[in-house]
A and B are shown apart, each in its own frame.
Chain A
Amino acid sequence: MSPLSNPSLVPPPDVIRLAAEDLAAGYGRHAVLDGVSLDVAAGRFTALVGPNGSGKSTLLSAMSRLLAPMRGVVTLDGKAIHRMPTKALARELGILPQNPLQPEGLSVFDLVSRGRYPHQGLLRQWSDADEAAVERAMRLTGTLEFARRPVDDLSGGQRQRCWIAMAIAQETQTILLDEPTAFLDLRYQVEILDLLHDLTLNHGRTIVAVLHDLNLAVSYADTVVFLKDGAIRGTASPPADCTPALIRDVFGIEVLMVPHPETGGPVFIPRRGGDTA
């Protein structure tokens, strides 16, 4: 599968699914984000990148209601998410936080099934629709073959795929992921990004992910948002618009930009410490 989007299958770029307006958020009284505004296009893959402590995870938390904003508003299809009923929001917006807890001995099937929580009620427990959604999510993520095994028996990459399966089983139009490729070796990183790309391209989902690998973000995402010091420093859409100057500004390093030999897209190579341009 080509990491580049097929334009004919993607919805027009002017449909905004998720939007943050003049958002300030943080922990305690300390505002990590101050006055951030961001529009996330429907059916696209948006990557958030930036140095440690730049506010990427805080932005993701505030946009998914894990964190109440100090100021500003987040809207999903025009509705303010902090005023929606929790379960109703969870049927439209899914969030996979970093380092979720791994209950001992929980089977993959049981974990993915818990993604169906927002679709269940006191009198409406497990249904055929739940079963079908779980099976679809597991098929898509390639986790069906170890459905019965405990999650804590699996490798890091398989485990991450199980958590993503849980988020997919939630059947939300929009999925937010905080560093879904952290601590994974390169092969699993590529696998997860292929999967996220497939979700936007072939399943019409809107994906927002915090990523730490700049080149992977540039080659997989439809839009790359650069954060630094709690503010957005630049947005590359398409990511080919990325410039070495923007990267120097955000990450404080000098990079060389070379064309990808197959796709022609930009690839950034950090210069060694002493070699200034």
Chain B
Amino acid sequence: MSGARTQPLSLPRRRAHGRLAAGLLALALLVIMCAIHLGIGSRFIWPGTVVRAVFAYDPANFDHKVIIGLRLLRLLSGLLVGAALGMSGALLQLVTRNPLGEPHVLGLNAGAALAVVLATTLGLAGGTAFGALAARPLVAAIGAGLLFSLIITASSAGRDGLTPLKVILCGVAFSAFAASLTSALLILDEQTLADLRLWLAGDLSGLTYAGLACAAVPAAFAALGALAITPQLNALALGENVASGLGVNLRRTRFAALGAAALLCGASVSLAGPVGFVGLVAPHAVRILISRDARLLVPLSAVAGALILLGADAAARTLLAPRELATGIMTAVLGAPVFLLIVSRYFR
């Protein structure tokens, strides 16, 4: 151990290089996944052709036209939805200190979906008019934030205050309540039901570039805000008292983290509907494989979330080809066992 004694502080730094390498590896995997995802469809296109279509586009080539004209939008939307859900899950897990923290489990998705359906039936956020498209992510974020606030308030009641288990139970109960309201609204309005049926299962369909741009702007602001507060989130992981003692403003940090989580969730729901479990699995995968440090966990959960969502979407479209499953069904198939594993580990 004499080597460790003479240069003890260079060692943690070397491990930081290892983490950087792991992060770069995750990014490289994501690029490969993008190439595969673009290749998948009614007609499989090999990654070599995909790369040429992106970097040397030839309008005369039919495959190139399919990739750029039809599939690129789905890929970009999938990237945004997965990254937003992954980051939103990481924020919720860090700030509620709950290993099951996730937009779907904690009711953010259900709140966002209800808000969008309500706004659509009222004629506020439906259709493809630009104003409606631009309002949709924000309406979804407000719905997510409102329902989550309600859940936190309800689970704080009682003598023992806010416990992780109570938050989860309230999340499930209020999600079910919001989902039944959503169904009721849709039964009353058949036209909207027809428009939103696939969207409500959580699927990357019915996308437009305008809708993508409208979701990307609030998501980008939320992501920057989330990255800026990662040192505060690290301090908060040591307990509220330690964090206050280190000079962290608890209320402001929580508000910023939950606001960012709601905006990210709203952006993803506006594009793909309520997709579950990506926000649960992505941060846990990063924690196990790379780091628990919030400064790495938050950005890498976005990368992992995008990877998982694209993988699930690719599987949803190939497993029963030529028929397609909704993306959200695949993420649930993947995520439910992980959810049970985490429950058995933390709530014995």
Contacts and interface: CB of A to CB of B under 8 A. Distances in A.
Interface of A: 61, 64-66, 86-91, 94-97, 99-101, 103-107, 109-111, 114-115, 117-118, 120, 122, 131, 134-135, 138, 144-145, 147-148, 170
B11 interface: yes
27 contacts: A61-B241, A66-B241, A66-B244, A86-B244, A88-B247, A90-B246, A90-B247, A95-B241, A97-B239, A97-B241, A97-B245, A99-B239, A101-B97, A101-B242, A109-B12, A110-B12, A111-B238, A114-B238, A117-B231, A118-B246, A118-B247, A122-B228, A135-B8, A144-B5, A145-B1, A145-B4, A148-B4
A90 B245 contact: yes
A96 B243 CA distance: 10
A131 B293 CA distance: 17
Given A103-B292, A145-B8, A64 B245 contact: yes
Contacts of B242: 96-97, 100-101
Contact of B247 (A86, A100, A138): A86
B237 interface: yes
A170 to B, nearest CB: 7
B235 interface: yes
Contacts, number: 86
A160 B142 CA distance: 43
Given A100-B241, A103-B292, A122-B228, A115 B8 contact: no
B121 interface: no
B220 interface: no
A12 B94 CA distance: 46
Contact of A66 (B9, B235, B245, B292): B245
B9 A109 contact: yes
B260 to A, nearest CB: 15
Contact of A148 (B15, B231, B234, B293): B15
Nearest to B9: A135
Contacts of A107: 12
Contacts of B185: none
Contacts of A131: 9
B248 interface: yes
B293 A110 contact: yes
B202 to A, nearest CB: 31
Most chain-A Cβ atoms within 10 A of its Cβ — which of B228, B241, B249?
Answer: B241
Contacts of B5: 144-145
Interface in B290-340: 292-293
Interface of B: 1, 4-5, 8-9, 11-12, 15, 97, 228, 231-232, 234-235, 237-239, 241-242, 244-249, 292-293
A65 B292 CA distance: 29
A8 to B, nearest CB: 32
Contact of A115 (B4, B11, B244, B246): B246
Contacts of A95: 241, 244-245
Contacts of B244: 65-66, 86, 95
A90 B247 CA distance: 5
Contacts of B4: 145, 148
B247 A117 contact: yes
A175 B232 CA distance: 21
A86 B245 CA distance: 8
B240 to A, nearest CB: 8
Nearest to A105: B292
A110 B292 CA distance: 11
A87 B235 CA distance: 13
Given A66-B244, A114-B246, 14 more contacts: A86-B248, A88-B247, A95-B241, A96-B242, A96-B245, A100-B242, A101-B237, A103-B237, A114-B238, A115-B246, A117-B246, A118-B247, A134-B9, A138-B8
Nearest to A102: B238
B15 to A, nearest CB: 7
A86 B293 contact: no
B245 A94 contact: yes
A94 B241 CA distance: 11
A110 B301 CA distance: 20
A109 B9 CA distance: 8
Contact of A101 (B9, B238, B248, B249): B238
Contacts of B238: 100-101, 103, 111, 114
B136 to A, nearest CB: 31
Contacts of B8: 135, 138, 144-145, 147
A22 to B, nearest CB: 23
Most chain-B Cβ atoms within 10 A of its Cβ — which of A64, A90, A122, A131?
Answer: A90
Contacts of B1: 145
A147 B4 CA distance: 9
Contacts of A147: 8-9, 11-12
A148 B292 contact: no
A65 B248 CA distance: 12
Most chain-A Cβ atoms within 10 A of its Cβ — which of B5, B9, B228, B238?
Answer: B238
Contacts of A144: 5, 8
A109 B247 CA distance: 20
The 7 closest A-B pairs by CB, nearest first: A90-B247, A97-B241, A95-B245, A87-B247, A101-B239, A118-B247, A109-B12
